[in-house]
Structure 1
Amino acid sequence: MILSLALAGTLSVSALPFNVLAHDELGDINIEKGERANYEGVAVPVLEGSKNLKFLYEAAAPEMKVVRPDGKQNSFGDVYSHKGFAYVGTHTKNGGKGGVRVFDLKDPSSPKEVAVFANSDIPGTWQEKVIVKSVSTPDFTGDLAVVSVQQISRNNRDSRGGFLLYDVTNPYEPKKLGFWEVTKKTNGTHELYLTVQGNRAIVLAANPYADYYSHGEQKDFQIVDVSNPTAPKTIWEFDPRSLPEVPANFNGYNWNSPDGKVRPVFNHSTMVDETGKYAYVSMWDLGTLIFDISTPEQPKYLGRTDFASNQQGSAHSATLAKGGTILIETREVYSPIKPGYEAAYGYTRIFDIKEKTNPKLLSEFRTELTEAEAGAPVTFARTVHDPKVRGNTLYLSHYAGGVRTVDITDPSNPVQTGKYIPENSDIWGVFVDRNYILASDIGSGLKVLLHNNGSNYPKRLEE
């Protein structure tokens, strides 16, 4: 395994057309995640930076055994951890239907794959995102998993999109509870989030283009009560036309923004703070929208992030820091050369949201991958993807750029402190737990990083 500080070679993308899933599907760029040439790393295992990050090392990169009856392997999606188990979603390779892979991390240096679920429920679909929470409602007590379900093709009469609900109280034996279905006119639920409000369990679903394809019959952002996981119930939908800056003739995608540009708008992802009160919704070029969902049947829109006129918006994902007073927004810009905009791949922005009605930009964090020149290739390899925070450290998944660690002690001055780049890196997700950092690679699956706290491990990464 090659762990690299430096990037060498060219980051490029296959020019072959592909059905775009979940990013800007209605734009004129047809590429898919994972469809690119691998860069060539250098075989120098190094982690730069300070603090305890110099003691970080790769403890495990288990070979993802083939679990499909047809003997074919899937590509991989996001990663989540709950009570010592890792949950790895799957992507579209070989027709999807890979489900969620479950690993016992009792010994993080030797993860044991113990179960696969949501892989045979609905034909013609893929299961990228999984969130697991402990839930106690009048109808269910235990550990509940919600799994995104997306159609490979809307023309498949047997496929459906939405999300599945599973009881994973015993992760070795997941049990299906229910399914929530979104209009078949869209691909399905892309990213989602599960939160708990007292004795209620609520899912926030991002259903890209549901508004556009259903002509407003369903919306991109829906809130679903899953307190009874066998009978999920939609309780609210968001219509962007309710915002004063969005014209009433908004068609569900094209937004005539105040800066005079026509910008794409669709819901890419959702997340909720630890209190279950505030929701953060990534609506691409409309920015990150903030809602008070204390009463989930009647959310209150509070405010949103904005962009400079020369920035592609592409608000992809969000997370919080500093007790919920700092918002981190990642922007998945993979087509860096666009008339009227700066030449740049996606980078991270950090906001002060003490006043949620008026987010204030504090800083922007770019890497050596960000800058682009005329003729730069269209590629996911060089854009940032998902953010996570632990304490004063921001963790970013960055495709070919691996996992980046950023000191945000001063959010106005973010400083990169390290990066982990496995061989042929294509890092989709990152998740931070108390004892380990997990990453998921589209091509090779689960990675486990540990802190050795100065012990003499052979894989220790030196400064």
Structure 2
Amino acid sequence: MLLASACAAGPQVTGAPTPPTTTQETSAPASKPAQTGNVMMSGNIKQVASMPRTAPLNGEDDINTDLAFQGDYAYVGNFGGFTVYDISEPAKPEIVSQVSCPAQQNDVTVYQNLLILSIDEPRGGPECDSKDGPRAWEGLRIFDITDKKSPQYVGAVKTECGSHTHTMVPNGESLYVYVSSPGPEPESETCPPPHELIQIVEVPLKAPQSAKIVAKPDIFPERQHSDLASGCHDITAYPEKKLAAAACFGDGVLLDISDPVSPKVLQQLTDTENFQIWHSATFNNDGTKVVFSDELGGGGQATCDRNTPPTKGANAVYDLVGGKLERRGYFKIPREQQENENCVAHNGSLIPVPDKDIMVQSWYQGGVSVWDFTDSSSPKEIGFFERGPHPEPAIAGSWSAYYYNGYIYSSDIMEGLDVLEINDPLTDPAKKVKMDDFNVQTQKSY
């Protein structure tokens, strides 16, 4: 999340591949984690590649953010723009192109020939080179990625309070995009109060330049309880189940999205004792559970320590019973982190194991955790990968960790793209599942 206070006619595109760093160490037994330099991992996980950030996306403020996948390509967001990787050989990723398009967040999704970025920072305009002029624009930027070597900017949509994250809901010839954003900011031109809403953008697939806001539903039957922000942080849609789960800072909300332009509230959850920031949501494959995460401290604090209760900065597992969510248990990584390591539950995805509920998840400097919540009341970790503390005080670690076609891909804020392989009897069936594309906030059954 990082709760924090160029794309025009032609974004700057570069494409100089950088050879990956590979590691081929033999995994140690799970009871004795393997350690190489400042990297430690459980015996069932192996780091197979590491791609550092490279120019023009390796400046001090150019931190890596979210991930999306399509075919043999991975797309990595960055505060400076985004990178397209060829991952046809996961142990040898290659940079196809890098687009310089600076803005906070730049969370990324892909659908067919389109790539969408979330812009959560007032800019001088919608174009990538909009450095000058009053900062009065934020929202979504849209690119055509037909040519992976040369993505082209095609348009943008200004949204209230920008876009911190966004969620795609395909529907025929239109792509609906749910925009989540924090607010309000009373003195801001782009984020006036009140802000008890989400925004829905329609992107015509044949004319993406004509994208526009088509609805602003108020999905809060009762006012939220967060002192930090209103609106939503993250929405996960499961179109096949006609459901969505929204993490909305002070609340969790279960939605009926049978009509994608008019989502209906089924249930609103509040937990002021254990949750500070309802950050994200993940359904299990059957759509019978939802994992909500709490990003205590907004991503910048050390909350994985003995001084923080195990129910804070953690994941809450809810079972969907009779159409209502009921909390069953909590999960937090069992390894204590140092006081200078920002660590809290962050972005993750299911590992597609039939008849099991297993997830991989990023924890900033807590690294990458693989955990099993098949038993909702007693979730447990089954594997992990992490680096030691960043050498300088900084927000660092894994922003997003997702499983895609046999491998775990971790977008590390400072270190770049890590590729991990897990070999474990519990997760091995996932290797038979092949996905054509993957956007974590738009779930599909496997």
Please classify the TM superposition score into its range, dividing by the shorter chain length.
0.7 to 0.9
How many residues end up aligned between the 2 structures? Answer: 368
1:132 touches 1:145 (CA, 8 Å); kept in 2?
A: yes
- Is the aligned partner of 1:434 residue 2:390? no
Distance 1:300 1:152, change over 3 A: closer
Q: Alpha-carbon deviations, 1:255-309, whole Å to 9, x = none? A: 5x5xxx9675431112211427322221111x221222222332211112331x4
Structure 2 segments unaligned to the other structure (5+ residues): 6-24, 33-41, 125-131, 391-395, 426-446
- In structure 1, how many angstroms separate the alpha carbons of the residues matched to 2:117 and 2:123? 18
2:249 touches 2:279 (CA, 8 Å); kept in 1?
A: yes
Structure 1 segments unaligned to the other structure (5+ residues): 1-20, 26-42, 92-97, 135-142, 247-254, 455-463
- In structure 2, how many angstroms separate the alpha carbons of the residues matched to 1:72 and 1:364? 35
2:122 touches 2:135 (CA, 8 Å); kept in 1?
A: no
Amino acid at match of 2:330: E
- In structure 1, how many angstroms separate the alpha carbons of the residues matched to 2:91 and 2:227? 49
- Is the aligned partner of 1:394 residue 2:359? yes
Give the TM-score of the pair, scaled to structure 1.
Answer: 0.70
- Is the aligned partner of 1:445 residue 2:421? no
2:288 to 315, 325, 344: 325
- In structure 1, how many angstroms separate the alpha carbons of the residues matched to 2:232 and 2:255? 14
- In structure 1, how many angstroms separate the alpha carbons of the residues matched to 2:384 and 2:334? 12
Distance 1:430 1:150, change over 3 A: same
- Shift of residue 149 of structure 1? 1.4
What is aligned with 2:91? Answer: 109
- In structure 2, how many angstroms separate the alpha carbons of the residues matched to 1:427 and 1:126? 17
- In structure 1, how many angstroms separate the alpha carbons of the residues matched to 2:228 and 2:53? 40
Correspondences of 1:259-274 after superposition (within 5 Å): 264-274=229-239
What is aligned with 1:348? Answer: 315
3-state DSSP of counterpart to 1:382: coil
- In structure 1, how many angstroms separate the alpha carbons of the residues matched to 2:31 and 2:153? 44
What is aligned with 1:404? Answer: 369
1:87 to 75, 90, 96: 75
3-state DSSP of counterpart to 1:429: strand
3-state DSSP of counterpart to 2:83: strand
- Calculate percent identity across the aligned residue pairs: 22
What is aligned with 1:160? Answer: 137
- Shift of residue 316 of structure 1? 0.3
Distance 1:266 1:45, change over 3 A: farther
1:351 touches 1:363 (CA, 8 Å); kept in 2?
A: yes
What is aligned with 1:129? Answer: 107
- Is the aligned partner of 1:302 residue 2:230? no
3-state DSSP of counterpart to 2:240: coil
1:146 touches 1:166 (CA, 8 Å); kept in 2?
A: yes
Amino acid at match of 1:293: I
2:407 touches 2:422 (CA, 8 Å); kept in 1?
A: yes
Q: Alpha-carbon deviations, 1:104-131, whole Å to 9, x = none? A: 00111111111123x34xxx62343101
Q: Which has the higher contact order (CA 8 A, sep 6+)?
A: 1
1:80 touches 1:130 (CA, 8 Å); kept in 2?
A: yes
What is aligned with 2:119? Answer: 149
- Shift of residue 365 of structure 1? 0.7
- In structure 2, how many angstroms separate the alpha carbons of the residues matched to 1:224 and 1:272? 15
1:125 touches 1:159 (CA, 8 Å); kept in 2?
A: no
- Is the aligned partner of 1:224 residue 2:201? yes
| RMSD (CA atoms) | 3.4
1:204 touches 1:270 (CA, 8 Å); kept in 2?
A: yes
Distance 1:265 1:171, change over 3 A: same
2:195 touches 2:231 (CA, 8 Å); kept in 1?
A: no
- Shift of residue 89 of structure 1? 0.8
Distance 1:451 1:297, change over 3 A: closer
